[in-house]
């Protein structure tokens, strides 16, 4: 039988073990990392740039929720590629691996931000979006979990990794991290 207090303790342990690293693999302290992430959002707002957020399944819902909160509370221009017609057209014509990369090629601009959320860190459509963002000159923040050697964890300018081993734990903790990032924006 499961125990609620044990689950809460597990989330505290997972969130307490968060790791923020730069593209070169250098680890950054959590407070310093979040301070830098806050400054990225402040600069994006000042320069009227766009925040793109992508994910699959529950991570897509988080991307949408994060984008809505950033637009409403953070006064940032945000965009997610969750329109069903867009998703099915790209998937049908180009393949699901291009579902985020293709619209990013058409809309993204140097100086924008991509927030890529993937519990496994190995979803090809997310990896392709990150590669496209890098080619354009978009700053990249990744959130991943599961395997500490997942592909996504080394691809962003800032990489947030949590040692969650299940999708439910990863998704719950990613949501807490995204909310914290918005809350410190002020």
For residue 146, which of 124, 126, 177, 168 has the smallest C-alpha distance? 168
Domain ranges of the chain: 60-186
In order along its 186 residues, the chain shows pLDDT tens digits of 589 999 999 999 999 999 999 999 999 999 999 999 999 999 999 999 999 999 999 999 999 999 999 999 999 999 999 999 999 999 999 999 999 999 999 999 999 999 999 999 999 999 999 999 999 999 999 999 999 999 999 999 999 999 999 999 999 999 999 999 999 998
- With the C-alpha atoms ordered 80, 177, 125, 108, is the resulting torsion angle positive or negative? positive
* Domain 60-186 bears CATH identifier 1.20.1300.10: no
Are the C-beta atoms of 114 and 138 separated by less than 8 Å?
yes
Entry pTM: 0.97
């Amino acid at each position: 039988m499961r125990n609620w207090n044990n689950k809460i303790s597990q989330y505290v342990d997972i969130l307490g073990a968060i790791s923020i690293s730069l593209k070169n693999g250098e680890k950054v302290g959590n407070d310093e990392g979040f301070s830098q992430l806050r400054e990225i959002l402040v600069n994006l707002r000042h320069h009227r740039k766009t925040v793109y957020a992508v994910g699959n399944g529950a991570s897509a819902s988080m991307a949408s929720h994060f984008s809505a909160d950033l637009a409403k509370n953070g006064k940032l221009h945000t965009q997610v590629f969750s329109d069903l017609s867009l998703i099915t057209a790209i998937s049908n014509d180009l393949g699901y691996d291009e579902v985020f990369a293709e619209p990013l090629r058409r809309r993204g601009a140097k100086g924008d931000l991509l927030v890529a959320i993937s519990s496994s860190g190995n979803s090809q459509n997310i990896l392709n979006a990150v590669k496209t963002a890098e080619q354009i000159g978009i700053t990249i923040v990744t959130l991943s979990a599961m395997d500490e050697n997942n592909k996504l964890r080394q691809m962003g300018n800032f990489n947030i990794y949590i040692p969650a081993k299940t999708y439910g734990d990863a998704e719950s903790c990613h949501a807490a991290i995204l909310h914290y990032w918005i809350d410190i924006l002020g």
